[in-house]
Structure formats: structure tokens, C-alpha cells
């Protein structure tokens, strides 16, 4: 073989082996509805080692070393030198951020190693997928001392096939979780929320057949009298006979055989007249999709959403979105929310405000939250953390944003409650940002043509009382979100009522943020005194009067349901690292402004009922 050809062969082998390594470490595409699969929960107590110098990953020459903590070594002889051990180390509860579980970790940003032992009765003909609901922010995962993969992004699930790493009997998992903020991340280094680190959502070991139903999507359209259409995907080797799957919705007397193509994908479009999902009647159907006798069950609502001029239509009817913004923070104070109970409480508080809509800011919330919104009848704005000053010129950063968008849409595409995908919040308007966001919108529409696209944008004043909606990005979205803090970040509360809004676009507008800070229980005779409940109520009063005269307005999500932790809010005695713009204190106690908004929503709901509110 001549030297040129030999060099080419070597180059090919290098590239091929690199791709194999990359392929092994990249997370897999998500399976749909993990709760509906046979699985072992790995929630509970995990041993941890706090490792600010990443001593468990790099040796003193700063090279990744072979005896890292992922080996979970045990001293076999007293003469053996091992300078770490998981067995009797401290523990943390998973799911759960480390900041709110241990005061010594409240401000901690760095690496924490997690370790979990578990027994498995490994089945020969099964595959095993290890799924994390989320790890903030970077995760490297090892099973029985071998790396299975890594993931970046703090608010979306990821999975690895660990079949070949598991043994029958005793196994262990080690996770390197690192929540350090870096300039080239999504979000970047500056946010107005607490950087809760760790394995913040549930962990499952999912057992699958070698060939299994991996994914599916069902959407309703009113066309031709009503159609449920979509697709399903079977992964794995298929025998000659097994080229169909069964879709069944018993309550609709619907049973349909779906033919699979050579790639295991099957499309369907079935005439159907389901009761349409809506906030006042959140009807969900039991859907069963089975393949080779293995059934996957889901609860899915059918509805359709569209925009027409300045109106948002749900099931063909104009709707006004009485909403509230929510951070994913525990209703019992601080720390990441993650459970059904957390979701039920937070959404119950929203319902108590007479909301029919929630903005789940500023990142995809946990799966329990969106499933609970389906059950409780709350429409949802779901968002990726393309927040403030992202590195918009970076291709690598764009890829991170797009991956989080894909993971959010893949996970929640069957949730009727979600009507809006938001691709950004308050991003500075310039050429690179517009290009970046236009790409994201294009990607979102490719992934899901059934939902509306939005983003929260800044606005600016045009002289006395004039406010302009003229962000060039607004031309790309279906619904324009605007954040405007009249009476808090500028101007006096009494001037807000007189604001007049001008939009360059004939599109629905959602006031995605307004509000003011108040320490619950703090009052003053002076309504202009900051951080008093009466000042917050005054700001709400005048902003809501402004909204009464805002013709293109079709929704509001005031900032924010409850006080939340923020490293940007240190003011002693009033903030103490809480952002106090909640209508509820961090313990869920109502502030005066809560009642101001509730009264306005009750009035709004009545107007819409009488068909008045959307006429302006
Ligand atoms: C911004 C931002 C929020 C932030 C809020 C505030 O609009 O979108 O994330 O918390 O204002 O200043 O409280």
C-alpha cells in the first residue's frame, strides 16, 4: 500500500473511532412517556463528595486520571492509599438541588459527585435506559466504573443506553454534576434566579424490549370534521411479521392499526370527534399504543390553537390568557420544585387567582408540572433559557440552544396544555441575535407545526406615555411577549395608566412581565415606599388600568406568582437574596397585590364571557 493511501486509511480510522466515542457519549433521543414504561426509580438517598477542585476528575497535572471518583474504589488492604470513599460519605436526596439541602452548599458552584448502589435482576432479552429528568448544569454519567455519556443543559431530560454496562445483581452509578456558570452556556453567566445545582429531577432505569415503541405524537385538527393525526416510532431490529402497531382510544371507540415503514416509523390520520380540551373542561383521553403486545398508556388532550389577526383562538374561539409567571421553585420556600405535589400546589395557587394560563419561566419546567397543567386545565407558555446576553455569534452556543429546544419539544409534544414555545427572554436587539433567534424559530416550527411561537421582548418609550412594540424579532413570532415594568424600573406608578401602546405588528400581544417588589407584611403610609405591599398593589392597580386600554392585548403573565431566590437581590432586611416580586411570599402568604390582580381577572373573565373583552 503506497504511503498516501496508508495515510488516508489511518485518517479514516481516526475519524471513525472519534465518531464512535462521540456517539457513545452523546445522549440518545428521548423515549416518549417514561412514566408509562416499566422502570426502577433511582430516587432517594445518594452518597456525595463535594469536589470544588475537581480532584476526582483531574490529577495534579490537570489531566483526566484513570483512578477518578467514577471508579468508586474500595480499600482492600490498610496499606492501600485511596483518598476518597462514597460508602460513608454525606448524602443528598435525589431529586433535589444541593443548595437547599445543605447550608454549606447554599452558594456552592462547582462539582458534586453522586453515587448510588442498586440491585438489578437483569433480563437477558431486555435493553436498559438510564434517564435523568434534569441535572443542572453539566453531567457526566458512569455505570459500574465506565463512562456512559455526558449532557449539558440544566432543565431537560437525557438518557443513555446502559444495557452493556449493567450486571445481574449489584450495580453502581456515579454522576459528576457541575453547576458552574460559563459565558458560552444556555443560560449564560448572568440570570435573575438561583443557580440550583445537582440532580434536580427524578432518575429512572427503564426496561425495554430489544424492539420497542420509542416515540409518538398525536395532534387534533378540526379539518374534515375532525382528525387525530400523528406518527409513532418503533426502534430496534424487527422480524418479518412485526410491521404494525396498534393505536387505541377506547372512549372514542377508536382502534387503528398503524403500518410501520422500513425505519420503524408509522403515520396515521384518523377521523375523530373528541371532546376538545380547554381550561374550563380539561378533557384527557386514555390513549394506548401497543407493539408486539407491549402497551404504552398515556393521557392526552385534544385541542387546536391558532392566531387570527390580533386574536388567539383556542378550538376556534378567541381567548384571553389570564396568566401568571412561575419559576420552578418549591412552594415550601426555596429549592427546585420537581414533584406532583409541588406542581399541584403551584398550579393550585394559579387557579386561585382565576388564571387559565401560566408562563413557566425561564426554562422548561419538570414533567410533573406540564402533566398537572393538562389535568388542571391551565394553558402553558414553555420556554428555553435563551436569556439576556447569550453569545449569539457562537455556532457552538446556537447548537446548545437548539438542543434544549429539541429536548423540550420532544418531551412535551403530547401535552395539550402547552400552546406556546418561547425561544427567548429579554435578549438585546442586534443582528447576530436576530439571526440566532430566527434559526430557533425555524427549528421550532419544523419540530412542531401545531403550536404558536413567542418570546418575551423589551419595548421602549416614544416620548410622554408612548410605548413602542418594534423589536424586529416580533416579525418572526406568532404572539409577541413584552416585558415592561412601568412604576418599578422607571416612571411613577400613577403615570402607567396613561401609557398608550403602539405595535408595528398586527399580532396578539401578551404582557409577559410587569410587577414590583414587596416584602410580605411590610406596609407604609407612603404608597411610593419601595418593597411595601401597598406600593406593589399601587403598581398593579395602575398597570392593570393601562392594560384595560391596550387593544392588541390577549394575555398577561405578571411577574411573578411567588418570591424566589436570586443572587441579584441582596438588600438586607427586605430581599436577603429573595426576588420579592411575588404576589405570594416564599411561604405562599398572599400580598395585597394578589387581591388587586384577582379582582381584575374576575372582571376580565366576566367580560370575555359576555363577549366584550376582545372587541377593543
Ligand atoms: C426581568 C427578567 C426576570 C427578572 C425580572 C426582575 O424582566 O425577565 O427574569 O426576574 O425582570 O427584574 O425581577
Residue 3 scores a pLDDT above 80: no
515 Cα to the center of ligand 1, angstroms: 9
pLDDT band at 23 (very low <50, low <70, confident <90, very high): very low
If you take atom 4 of ligand 1, which residue's CA is the nearest one? Answer: 192
Distance 81 CA to ligand 1 centre (A): 50
The Å distance, Cα 344 to ligand 1 centre, comes to 24
Options 3.40.50.620, 3.20.20.80, 3.40.50.1000, 3.40.50.300; CATH for 306-609 is 3.20.20.80
Alpha-helix residue ranges (DSSP H) falling in 142-256: none
- Output the CA torsion sign for 340, 345, 350, 352: positive
Distances (CA, A) of 282 to 112, 274, 430: 41, 12, 41
- Ligand 1 atom at shortest distance from the alpha carbon of 426: 8
Q: What are phi and psi of 340, to 5 degrees?
A: -60, -40
Is the pLDDT reported for residue 20 higher than 70? no
Average pLDDT over residues 572-583: 98
Q: Which residue has the higher pLDDT, 147 or 2?
A: 147
Mutation probe of ligand 1 site: the residue of 187, 192, 422, 558 with most atoms within 8 A of C-beta: 192
Asked if 408 contacts 373 with a C-beta cutoff of 8 angstroms, the reply is no
Q: What is the reported pLDDT for 611? A: 75
10 pLDDT tier (thresholds 50, 70, 90): low
Is the pLDDT confidence value at 22 over 60?
Answer: no
pTM attached to this predicted model: 0.95
HSE (CB half, 13 Å, CA atoms) of 177?
34
Q: In the structure, what pLDDT confidence band is assigned to residue 7 with cuts at 50, 70 and 90?
A: low
Instruction: Pull the grid cell for residue 18.
Output: 472519534
CATH fold of 223-303: Immunoglobulin-like (2.60.40)
- Show Cβ contacts of residue 117 under 8 Å, excluding neighbours closer than 6 positions: 170, 171, 172
Q: Determine the pLDDT at residue 19.
A: 46
Q: What is the mean pLDDT of residues 200-227?
A: 97
pLDDT at 237: 86
Mutate to test the pocket of ligand 1, among 513, 517, 531, 536 (most ligand atoms within 8 A of CB): 513
Cα of 567 from ligand 1 centre, angstroms? 12
What is the C-alpha separation between 99 and 479, in angstroms, rounded?
A: 36
Atom of ligand 1 nearest to the CA of 361: 9
| 192 C-alpha to ligand 1 centroid (Å) | 6
**Residues with Cβ within 8 Å of residue 594, at least 6 apart in sequence:** 353, 583, 584
Residues 6+ apart with CB under 8 A from 533: 518, 519, 520, 521, 522, 523, 591, 592, 593
- For residue range 510-532, list pLDDT tens digits in order: 999 999 999 999 999 999 999 99
Report yes or no: 109 and 179 within 8 Å, Cβ to Cβ: yes
Give the CA-trace dihedral at 388, 394, 395, 397, to 10 degrees: -40
What are 449's three cell numbers?
407545526
For ligand 1, atom 9: residue with the closest CA:
192
Task: Answer whether residue 460 shows pLDDT above 70.
Answer: yes
Return the residue whose CA atom lies nearest to atom 2 of ligand 1: 192
Question: Which SS3 state, helix, strand or coil, does residue 467 take?
Answer: strand
Nearest CA, atom 3, ligand 1: 192
Distance between Cα 398 and ligand 1 center (Å):
23
Nearest atom (ligand 1) to Cα of 517: 13
Task: Provide the mean pLDDT of the chain.
Answer: 94
Which atom of ligand 1 lies nearest, measured to the CA of 489? 12
The number of the ligand 1 atom at minimal distance from the alpha carbon of 456 is 8
| Percent of the chain surpassing pLDDT 90 | 89
Q: Tell me the percentage of the chain whose pLDDT exceeds 70.
A: 95
Helical residues (DSSP H) of 237-366, grouped into ranges: 340-352
Q: How far is the CA of 45 from the centre of ligand 1 (A)?
A: 34
In ligand 1, the atom with minimum distance to the C-alpha of 581 is 13
Domain borders along the chain are 22-209, 223-303, 306-609
Looking at 334-470, list the stretches that DSSP marks H as alpha helix, in order from N- to C-terminal side: 340-352, 367-376, 395-412, 431-447
Same fold, 22-209 and 223-303: no
Q: How far is the CA of 331 from the centre of ligand 1 (A)?
A: 19
- Mean pLDDT for 353-380 is 98
Residues present in the chain in total: 616
Burial class (CB in 10 A: 0-12, 13-18, 19+), 155: buried
Q: Is residue 614 very low, low, confident or very high in pLDDT (cuts 50, 70, 90)?
A: low
Question: What local confidence, expressed as pLDDT, does residue 142 receive?
Answer: 98
Question: 243: CA distance to ligand 1 center in Å?
Answer: 51
Tell me what pLDDT residue 73 has. Answer: 95
Q: So what's the pLDDT on residue 370?
A: 98
What is the position in ligand 1's atom list of the atom closest to the CA of 566?
Answer: 10
DSSP reduced 3-state for 258: strand
Query: Can you read off the three cell numbers belonging to residue 9?
Result: 486509511
Can you tell me which atom of ligand 1 is nearest the CA of 579? 13
> At 548, is the secondary structure helix, strand, or coil?
helix
Q: Which numbered atom of ligand 1 lies nearest the CA of 513?
A: 7
Mutate to test the pocket of ligand 1, among 486, 559, 563 (most ligand atoms within 8 A of CB): 559
C-alpha cell at 114: 453522586
Fold for the domain defined by 22-209: Jelly Rolls (2.60.120)
Residues with C-beta less than 6 Å from any ligand 1 atom: 192, 362, 425-426, 483, 513, 559, 579, 581
Nearest CA to ligand 1 atom 12: 192
The pLDDT tens digits for 107-151 are 999 999 999 999 999 999 999 999 999 999 999 999 999 999 999
Amino acid at each position: 500500500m503506497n504511503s498516501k493511501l496508508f495515510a488516508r486509511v489511518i485518517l479514516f480510522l481516526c475519524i471513525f473511532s472519534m465518531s464512535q466515542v462521540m456517539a457513545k457519549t452523546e445522549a440518545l433521543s428521548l423515549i416518549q412517556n417514561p412514566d408509562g414504561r416499566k422502570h426502577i426509580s433511582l430516587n432517594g438517598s445518594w452518597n456525595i463528595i463535594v469536589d470544588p477542585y475537581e480532584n476526582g476528575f483531574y490529577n495534579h497535572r490537570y489531566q483526566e486520571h484513570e483512578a477518578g471518583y467514577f471508579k468508586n474504589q474500595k480499600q482492600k488492604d490498610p496499606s492501600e492509599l485511596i483518598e476518597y470513599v462514597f460508602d460513608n460519605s454525606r448524602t443528598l436526596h435525589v431529586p433535589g438541588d444541593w443548595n437547599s439541602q445543605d447550608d454549606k452548599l447554599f452558594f456552592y458552584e462547582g462539582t458534586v459527585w453522586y453515587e448510588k448502589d442498586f440491585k438489578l435482576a437483569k433480563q437477558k432479552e431486555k435493553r436498559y435506559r438510564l434517564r435523568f429528568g434534569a441535572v443542572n448544569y453539566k453531567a457526566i454519567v458512569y455505570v459500574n466504573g465506565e463512562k456512559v455519556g455526558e449532557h449539558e443543559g440544566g432543565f431537560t431530560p437525557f438518557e443513555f443506553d446502559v444495557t452493556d454496562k449493567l450486571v445481574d445483581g449489584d450495580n453502581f452509578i456515579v454522576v459528576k454534576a457541575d453547576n458552574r456558570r460559563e459565558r458560552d452556556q444556555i443560560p449564560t453567566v448572568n440570570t435573575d434566579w438561583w443557580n440550583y445545582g445537582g440532580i434536580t429531577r427524578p432518575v429512572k432505569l427503564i426496561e425495554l424490549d430489544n424492539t420497542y415503541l420509542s416515540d409518538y405524537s398525536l395532534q387534533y385538527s378540526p379539518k374534515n370534521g375532525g382528525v387525530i393525526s400523528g406518527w409513532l416510532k418503533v426502534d430496534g431490529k424487527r422480524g418479518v411479521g412485526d410491521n404494525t402497531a396498534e393505536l387505541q382510544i377506547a372512549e372514542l371507540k377508536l382502534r387503528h392499526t398503524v403500518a410501520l415503514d422500513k425505519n420503524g416509523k408509522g403515520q396515521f390520520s384518523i377521523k375523530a370527534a373528541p371532546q376538545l380540551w380547554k381550561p374550563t373542561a380539561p378533557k384527557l383521553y386514555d390513549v394506548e399504543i401497543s407493539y408486539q403486545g407491549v402497551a404504552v398508556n398515556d393521557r392526552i388532550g385534544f385541542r387546536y390553537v391558532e392566531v387570527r389577526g390580533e386574536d388567539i383562538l383556542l378550538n376556534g374561539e378567541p381567548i384571553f390568557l389570564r396568566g401568571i409567571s412561575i419559576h420552578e421553585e418549591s412552594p415550601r420556600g426555596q429549592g427546585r420544585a420537581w414533584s406532583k405535589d409541588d406542581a399541584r400546589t403551584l398550579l393550585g395557587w394559579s387557579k386561585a387567582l382565576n388564571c387559565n394560563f401560566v408562563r413557566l419561566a425561564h426554562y422548561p419546567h419538570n414533567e410533573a408540572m406540564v402533566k398537572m397543567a393538562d389535568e388542571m386545565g391551565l394553558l402553558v407558555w414553555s420556554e428555553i433559557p435563551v436569556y439576556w446576553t447569550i453569545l449569539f455569534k457562537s455556532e457552538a452556543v446556537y447548537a446548545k440552544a437548539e438542543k434544549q429546544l429539541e429536548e423540550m419539544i420532544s418531551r412535551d409534544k403530547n401535552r395539550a396544555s402547552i400552546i406556546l414555545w418561547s425561544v427567548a427572554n429579554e435578549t438585546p436587539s442586534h443582528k447576530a441575535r436576530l439571526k440566532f433567534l430566527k434559526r430557533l424559530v425555524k427549528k421550532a416550527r419544523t419540530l412542531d407545526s401545531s403550536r404558536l411561537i413567542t418570546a418575551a421582548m423589551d419595548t421602549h418609550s416614544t416620548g410622554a406615555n408612548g410605548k413602542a412594540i418594534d423589536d424586529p424579532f416580533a416579525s418572526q413570532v406568532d404572539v409577541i411577549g413584552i416585558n415592561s415594568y412601568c412604576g418599578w424600573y422607571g416612571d411613577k406608578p400613577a403615570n402607567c395608566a396613561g401609557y398608550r401602546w403602539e405595535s408595528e405588528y398586527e399580532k396578539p400581544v401578551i404582557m409577559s412581565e410587569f410587577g414590583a417588589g414587596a416584602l410580605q407584611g411590610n406596609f407604609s403610609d407612603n404608597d411610593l415606599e419601595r418593597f411595601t405591599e401597598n406600593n406593589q398593589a399601587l403598581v398593579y392597580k395602575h398597570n392593570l388600568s393601562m392594560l384595560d386600554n391596550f387593544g392588541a392585548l390577549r394575555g398577561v403573565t405578571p411577574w411573578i406568582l411567588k418570591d424566589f431566590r436570586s443572587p441579584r437581590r441582596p438588600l438586607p432586611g427586605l430581599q436577603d437574596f429573595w426576588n420579592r416580586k411575588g404576589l405570594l411570599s416564599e411561604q405562599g402568604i398572599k400580598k395585597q397585590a394578589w387581591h388587586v390582580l384577582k379582582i381584575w381577572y374576575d372582571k376580565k373573565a366576566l367580560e370575555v364571557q359576555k363577549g366584550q373583552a376582545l372587541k377593543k
